[in-house]
Amino acid sequence: MQQDVMNPLRWSYRVSFLVGFCACFGLLAFALYAEYGLGMAPCPLCVFQRVAFLAMGFFFLLGGLHAPSGRNGRWTYAGLVLLSALGGVVTAGRHLWLQTLPPDQVPSCGPGIGYLFDAFPLGKMLKLVFTGSGECAKVEPILGLPMPAWSLLWFVLLAVLAIVAVRRRSVGK
């Protein structure tokens, strides 16, 4: 029994989803620590990655608390987690791509995300954010990797956790 507790492949759906929620919560807590404790101001793409983790955490929590017994219910929560993860993967991938550009090809710094939300409709604002800005190209490594690389890794790991949880048969208590 002790080995089952330590093996994520043996966790129940409920436990897996609550662990996913805790991971998202921890990642968001670290993002706030990096911003306020380490002085790493988030660029617009960083903010969108935080939103993706927030959405994933919300759906992990709902799925963990509800723990539906049917596959359709489980796939509904997992699908919402996966959709949020996909948004995060796209955002983190774009962010990493901007960070690999040569300095002469980095877009100029644009206005802050608060101004973009206030001044533009959603579609135009999203286009401006994903076009990128110079602040998104700044690389500040943590344990040797830039923040969007860590985000990308966690988006993929948490998506895999959601899929594995649905494929398990036991619902858990």
Q: What is the mean pLDDT of residues 72-87?
A: 95
pLDDT in the model for residue 134? 53
3-state secondary structure at position 48 = helix
pLDDT of 148 strictly over 80 = yes
pLDDT above 90: percentage of residues in the chain: 45
Higher pLDDT residue, 78 or 96? 78
Question: What is the rounded average pLDDT of the residues 90-102?
Answer: 85
Please determine, for residue 172, whether its predicted confidence score (pLDDT) is greater than 50: no
Confirm if 131 and 107 have CB atoms less than 8 A apart.
Answer: yes
Q: Which two tokens stand for residue 13?
A: 């759906």
Contact 165, 11 (CB under 8 A): yes
- Cα distances from 59 to residues 3, 104, 144, 146, in angstroms, run 28, 41, 30, 26
Query: Is the pLDDT reported for residue 2 higher than 80?
Result: no
pLDDT (tens digit, 9 = 90+) per residue, 110-132? 556 666 666 667 676 666 666 65
**Structural domains in the chain?**
2-167 (1.20.1550.10)
* 40, HSE (Cβ side, Cα atoms, 13 Å): 17
Q: What confidence score (pLDDT) does residue 80 get?
A: 97
What pLDDT, on the 0 to 100 scale, is given for residue 170?
46
Structure confidence at residue 127 (pLDDT) = 64
What is the mean predicted confidence (pLDDT) over 86-98? 90
Nearest to 140 by CA among 52, 37, 34: 34
Mean pLDDT, the chain, integer: 82
Read off the DSSP letter of residue 38. S
pLDDT for position 51: 93
Tens-place pLDDT, residues 32-60: 999 899 888 888 888 889 999 999 999 99
Q: If you search the block for the tokens 């409709």, which residue do you land on?
A: 121
Residue (of 66, 93, 95, 76) closest to 155 by Cα position: 93
